Structure 1
């Protein structure tokens, strides 16, 4: 299936950000799946309308432009029910379906990856470390002190993951410094003499 004309990855696999998608949990939160009827859905990027669809709600699914998408409801362990789309291509259940030309399919069927897969190891490690430090509410003035609400095993696990990410970052920086040293050996030799 062809990527949408407005974006796309030129080298490597396409990402989920390159496609428009529908999310069954968002539809449920908005209350769009409760009563039989129809609604219209629009995608807007940078203030411009990219695409719009009309969705007809049936008792066991939805219909978008003639394509029928089955919705399965499963019970949650602590009560309540959760909706799932069934991909028309592979019949697996998923939360998001991506628009490919005129039909909708899951991430696996379209052979998509997440945007983070295209990042270099250093950028991935920085992203991971930032996410961990935000989760821990890490305050550098209170080193080694965990947040009041967090359990010790969780804090220690997150601290170890953060250290691992920082080790990857410093390793990548060392590789970069080695490359710079190899490119410029004469200037370094001139400084030492």
Structure 2
């Protein structure tokens, strides 16, 4: 039987998360029109206006060559990554990376250690997997508020039905939003109570 802190959240608490790693997303490369055989280009990761990392990518017919230098050791790496493609429903094809370690078809590779590999091989989790129930509910409530054209924040003033949205759909969104807000507020109250107990000790 699971107690407090058991379940899915606890299984990932020791993992680094994808949001804190260096992702190479083939969908972004494809949307930018860069996956043309024979092409060579640079790809950078930035934080704000500051570049934090970069690689050179050389494109072949069914593979890409990732060329980069490790910051920790200065070692130059040339990594071959094979590509796969699957047909799209309305024509064309979608490109995928083949994970160099496990061979799985993936859209994103991550730089963890010496080489780029998939999320599973990097032992990476998602930030959402570390969320508690209250945080997850607040995030989901914010998503609904965005769909309703409102500013984020569970304590933000409530707005009305967006123009053009049918009433049944709006009422479904509102009911789900209100349910999630109640969960978020209850969790917030619980946390504040724990903090108060610590302060009273």
TM-score band (shorter)? Answer: 0.7 to 0.9
2:108 aligned with 1:96, yes or no? yes
Unaligned runs of 5+ in 2: 1-12, 68-77, 151-156
| Distance change >3 Å, CA 122–CA 22, structure 1 → 2 | same
2:37 aligned with 1:20, yes or no? no
2:85 aligned with 1:73, yes or no? yes
| Distance change >3 Å, CA 83–CA 158, structure 1 → 2 | farther
Kindly state the Cα deviation for residue 147 of structure 1 after the two structures are TM-superposed. 4.6
| Distance change >3 Å, CA 100–CA 178, structure 1 → 2 | closer
Kindly state the Cα deviation for residue 178 of structure 1 after the two structures are TM-superposed. 5.2
Query: Could you list the per-position Cα deviations for residues 130-161 of structure 1 after superposition, in whole angstroms to 9, with x for gaps in the alignment?
Result: 1111113359342xx4651x466654553343
Q: Which residue of 1 aligns with 2:122?
A: 110
2:184 aligned with 1:169, yes or no? yes
Distance in 1 between residues matched to 2:108 and 2:199, nearest whole Å: 50
| Contact preservation (8 Å) 2:36, 2:60 | no
Distance in 2 between residues matched to 1:81 and 1:21, nearest whole Å: 22
For 1:6-45, what aligned pairs fall within 5 Å after superposition? 12-45=14-47
Work out which of the residue numbers 138, 141, 144 in structure 2 matches 1:126.
Answer: 138
CA RMSD of aligned residues (A): 2.8
Distance in 1 between residues matched to 2:99 and 2:22, nearest whole Å: 15
Distance in 1 between residues matched to 2:63 and 2:159, nearest whole Å: 53
Task: Return the TM-score normalized by structure 2.
Answer: 0.72
| Distance change >3 Å, CA 38–CA 124, structure 1 → 2 | same
Kindly state the Cα deviation for residue 182 of structure 1 after the two structures are TM-superposed. 6.3
Shifted more, 99-108 versus 173-182: the winner is 173-182
Distance in 2 between residues matched to 1:141 and 1:18, nearest whole Å: 35
- Hey, which of these two has a bigger chunk of helix by percent? 1
Higher alpha-carbon Rg:
1
Kindly state the Cα deviation for residue 114 of structure 1 after the two structures are TM-superposed. 1.6
Aligned length: 172
Task: Return the TM-score normalized by structure 1.
Answer: 0.74
